[in-house]
Structure 1
Amino acid sequence: MNAPMPNENSSSRLRLEQARRLLALAQTGLHYTTGVFDKERYEEIAAIAHAQIAEIASMRTDKVTELFAFEEGYANPKLDVRCAVFDEAGQILLVREAADGHWSLPGGWADVGLSPAENAAKEVREESGYTVEIVRLLAAWDTAKHPHPPSVFHIWKLVFLGEIVRAGEVIGVETDAVGFFSLDALPSLSLGRIMPQQIERLDELRRSGEIDFD
């Protein structure tokens, strides 16, 4: 989902951030410009940014262009909505991502037409089978400020606290296993989506009643 890339040094991360910013400026320029020549210039800038991202990510340029093909209008970060659900023993609900075989909190890109909280509840129901009541927001994080593997997208992550109402059947296709795990025995995590220290922080937040934000 997040199009993660291999671990990079600080220089590569800076180059990636600059390329994403360049691409955002080109996308916004294409949205507002009415001039033919300006449109050509912005398209050229976008192509340069695609090539830079492809080089850093060790991807083909056409694949990067394909990832951004539907990114139109004023450029904004993408919104990833997740839900942290704990059982009575303090274990956390995780789902295994079919895309990479690693585990994460239920969640994904926010859908148009639903509030962030409604998105979180929907993702839990589809990916784990559990219907939950959303209690409150736990965290609002900018993934660029956390040690996730670099992503071609700039992502903001909202994590809500959910309480189980009832169990049901998994109806989504993006996950292939569900389980509750002790925080000191977490499975292999999909690090582009969630990191062990973030799960520990979410447990602290649900106990303290606080909200964490970048």
Structure 2
Amino acid sequence: MNNVDLLKQIRRILVLAKTSANYSKDPFDQERLAEIVKIATDILTDGVPEHGQALQAGFTEDAGYITPKVDVRILIKNEAGEILFVQDRRTGEWSLPGGFAEIGASPVENALRETYEETGLIVQIERLLGIFDTDKRRDIPQLAQYYKIFFVAKIQSGSFKKNIETKQAKYFSIDDLPELSKQRTTREQLIELESLDEGSVFIE
């Protein structure tokens, strides 16, 4: 069994146990379910040592009914058709502007906020471009499941501002992409979106 399949099976055990614990009123059930969670997380750490501890920490922080997480991204092009990317300050890798959606804001509001925080740009959303499900991928082990929502936008005003998340923003051609942060943006996603007919939306 490869790491991706192992992660998915462990995730299913964790989801069932944590969700059941959230609704159970029986203290003995709570105790047994907590033990199941501990066993599953121990297997995760031992079975996928290169990712296990970080993935375990991120997953076990969730409480209640476990659901997929939402990530929003903005695709902006210049007149030459090049795409705007931001460079992560910590890793040096590049991605489309965006990030996790926060509670209390709509997908569009989250996308606008993330774009401003990472680029200093005020943009206008033009339309939905695509929705990807990270469970369809097999290249990077990810314990959590993410729905990645992509929007097309155009710049209204602003310029890049120094911030704690990104080092710079720069346009690249789809044929000459920089080193991408694959957990944020992949070449395959970009090619899929670029191949869409005008006005079409990709939904996975």
Cα distance, 1:142–1:63 mapped onto 2, change above 3 Å: closer
Task: Return the match for 1:125 from 108, 116, 127.
Answer: 116
* Offset, 1:60: 8.3
Provide the residue aligned with 1:112 in structure 2.
103
Provide the residue aligned with 2:201 in structure 1.
211
Task: Return the match for 2:23 from 20, 24, 32.
Answer: 32
Contact 2:55 2:142 in 1 (8 A): no
Instruction: Tell me the distance in 2 between the aligned counterparts of 1:143 and 1:51.
Output: 24
* Offset, 1:142: 0.5
Partner letter of residue 107 of structure 1? G
Could you report, residue by residue, the CA deviation over 1:114-173 in whole angstroms, capped at 9, with x for unpaired residues? 100111111111101111101111111111213441112111111111111112343642
Contact 1:80 1:107 in 2 (8 A): yes
**Alpha-carbon RMSD:** 1.9
2:180 maps to 1:186:
no
Task: Return the match for 2:71 from 80, 92, 103.
Answer: 80
Cα distance, 1:57–1:100 mapped onto 2, change above 3 Å: farther
- More deviation, 90-99/50-59: 50-59
Provide the residue aligned with 1:4 in structure 2.
none
User: How many residue pairs get matched?
Assistant: 204
Contact 1:50 1:64 in 2 (8 A): no
Q: What SS does structure 2 have at the residue aligned with 1:71?
A: coil
Q: What SS does structure 1 have at the residue aligned with 2:99?
A: strand
Runs of 4+ residues over 6 Å off in structure 1: none
Contact 2:44 2:56 in 1 (8 A): no
Contact 2:84 2:172 in 1 (8 A): yes
Instruction: Tell me the distance in 2 between the aligned counterparts of 1:167 and 1:147.
Output: 38
- More deviation, 45-54/165-174: 165-174
Contact 1:107 1:124 in 2 (8 A): yes
Task: Return the match for 1:176 from 167, 170, 188.
Answer: 167
Instruction: Tell me the distance in 1 between the aligned counterparts of 2:34 and 2:178.
Output: 43
Instruction: Tell me the distance in 1 between the aligned counterparts of 2:77 and 2:110.
Output: 18
Please give the residue correspondences for 1:1-214 in structure 2 after superposition, counting only pairs within 5 Å. Answer: 11-59=2-50, 63-170=54-161, 172-205=163-196, 208-214=198-204
Instruction: Tell me the distance in 2 between the aligned counterparts of 1:102 and 1:31.
Output: 38
Contact 1:95 1:106 in 2 (8 A): yes
The percent of aligned pairs where both chains have the same amino acid is: 37
Partner letter of residue 161 of structure 2? V
Instruction: Tell me the distance in 2 between the aligned counterparts of 1:182 and 1:59.
Output: 33
